[in-house]
């Protein structure tokens, strides 16, 4: 029989190959799923991966690529810092929503004033909203030892109810004649998040995502806090003996991930989404978990993984429109990436061995 035998040390070869192999297995399994749904698998994969980059309307899709990638990268970078330290923030979607609500509320409080200071103030408010929401599971973990996975995840549902309340109540556009949703922030000059380079889709959120990638890389490789993060994740007891303050590190990781998620929500509500609405929650906070692991919790890897995942969003919309693929099939295809990555990751720490039946382990 085939058994798993733990490796003396993690395989560096498999660490590099596992994301590539996971993507390849996802393409195969996704193709089989599309075929089972009655679609040509090659046409479906072409519509998802090829046409947005090199097809007839690639000029439009390429702009959408950065718009979709920016929030995924921004959130995933923050999550990866915590994951590397063994701090599991699974509620980034809630922090994304609360950041958007806080930033939008701060800006609308000054409507219709015309000032260049309003957008920076909204960005700061969005980050503060995300941090405040992230502090709930962080402080409960530090003070009472609660499970941050459950607390942060449950807070997502609370944030979704706050979103619904804001869309139909305290942030609703008074001129909308009963329709839910806030004023259009992308059309109000003081709060608009404009395209920085025409035709590229790059707005301030894209710039913030690139800055976050560079800052996280410098933090992890050049700063003592980055060393504490890596040490705590690799050997928690050794980190404690070395004097690393575990509670302070938990709060720091939650603050960074919550702040970045809140900023992502603010950039989305002032740009692509344009307003607070009941369906503003887009699932970016959950998809960013896939991006973080697909990028091996490394800032540069997250940048590439974010672009790949954004391609599945843009290409998935293209496939749904041109081929009639169900939206649920595209979501399942994206989920396969994490499933196969975790499955292949087993080979990083274990090797397959053949053992005759009846032989003791």
**Which tokens is 132 given?**
């405040």
Instruction: Note the helical H segments in 295-361.
Output: 299-323, 327-349
Q: What are phi and psi of 106, to 5 degrees?
A: -65, -40
**Which tokens is 106 given?**
């701060």
Three-state secondary structure call for residue 172: coil
DSSP structure class, residue 48: I
Q: 217-253: string of b/e by CB count within 10 Å (b at 16+)?
A: bebbeeeebbbbbebbbeeeeebeeeebebeebbbbb
Three-state secondary structure call for residue 113: coil
CA distance 320 to 311: 14
Three-state secondary structure call for residue 263: helix
**Which tokens is 247 given?**
């509670």
CA distance 207 to 2: 49
**Residue 180, H or E segment:** none
- Supply angle C-alpha 293, 298, 300, rounded to 5: 115
The CA-atom distances, in angstroms, between 23 and each of 15, 138, 185, 308 are: 14, 33, 37, 10
Burial group, residue 187, by CB count within 10 angstroms (0-12, 13-18, 19+): exposed
DSSP structure class, residue 2: E
Q: What are phi and psi of 351, to 5 degrees?
A: -120, 150
Q: Which of 352, 262, 316, 338 is nearest to 5 (CA)?
A: 352
Given a contact cutoff of 8 angstroms between Cβ atoms, the answer to whether 280 and 101 are in contact is no
**Which tokens is 100 given?**
């958007």
CA distance 40 to 101: 42
Residue carrying structure tokens 């979501």: 331
CA distance 78 to 80: 5
CA distance 261 to 139: 18
**Which tokens is 176 given?**
């909308």
Q: Which of 58, 74, 75 is nearest to 311 (CA)?
A: 58
pLDDT at res. 31: 93
pLDDT at res. 360: 55
Q: Which of 333, 219, 263, 279 is nearest to 73 (CA)?
A: 263
CA distance 352 to 358: 17
Chunked mean pLDDT (size 10), the chain, 361 residues: 81 80 92 92 91 78 86 97 95 97 94 91 97 98 95 97 93 84 87 80 90 97 94 90 92 98 96 89 91 92 93 89 87 87 83 72 52
Domains (range + CATH), the chain: 58-325 (1.10.3470)
Given a contact cutoff of 8 angstroms between Cβ atoms, the answer to whether 84 and 229 are in contact is yes
pLDDT at res. 218: 97
Rg, Å, the chain Cα set: 22
């Amino acid at each position: 029989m085939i058994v798993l035998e733990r490796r003396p040390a993690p395989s560096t070869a498999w660490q590099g190959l596992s994301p590539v192999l996971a993507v390849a297995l996802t393409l195969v399994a996704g193709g089989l799923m599309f075929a089972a749904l009655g679609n040509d698998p090659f046409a479906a994969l072409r519509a998802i991966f090829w046409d947005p980059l090199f097809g007839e309307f690639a000029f439009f899709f390429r702009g959408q690529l950065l718009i979709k990638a920016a929030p995924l990268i921004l959130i995933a970078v923050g999550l990866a810092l915590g994951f590397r330290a063994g701090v599991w923030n699974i509620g980034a979607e809630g922090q994304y929503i609360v950041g958007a609500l806080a930033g939008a509320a701060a800006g609308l409080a000054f409507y219709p004033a015309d000032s260049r200071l309003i957008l920076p103030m909204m960005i700061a408010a969005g980050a503060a909203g995300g941090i405040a929401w992230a502090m709930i599971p962080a402080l409960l973990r530090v003070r009472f030892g609660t499970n941050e996975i459950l607390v942060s995840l449950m807070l997502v549902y609370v944030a979704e109810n706050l979103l619904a309340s804001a869309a139909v109540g305290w942030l609703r556009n008074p001129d909308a004649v009963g329709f839910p949703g806030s004023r259009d922030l992308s059309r109000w000059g003081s709060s608009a998040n404009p395209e920085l380079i025409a035709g590229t889709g790059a707005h301030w959120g894209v710039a913030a995502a690139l800055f976050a990638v560079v800052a996280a890389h410098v933090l992890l490789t050049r700063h003592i806090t980055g060393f504490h993060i890596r040490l705590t994740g690799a050997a928690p007891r050794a980190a404690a003996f070395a004097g690393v303050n575990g509670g302070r590190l938990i709060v720091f990781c939650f603050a960074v991930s919550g702040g970045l998620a809140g900023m992502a929500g603010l950039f989305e509500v002032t740009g692509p989404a344009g307003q607070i609405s009941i369906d503003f929650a887009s699932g970016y906070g959950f998809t960013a978990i896939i991006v973080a692991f697909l990028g091996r919790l490394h800032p540069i890897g997250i940048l590439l993984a974010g672009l790949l995942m954004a391609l599945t969003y843009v290409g998935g919309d293209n496939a749904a429109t041109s081929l009639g693929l169900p939206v649920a099939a595209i979501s399942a295809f994206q989920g396969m990436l994490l499933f196969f990555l975790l499955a292949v990751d087993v080979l990083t720490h274990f090797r397959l061995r053949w053992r005759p039946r009846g032989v003791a382990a």
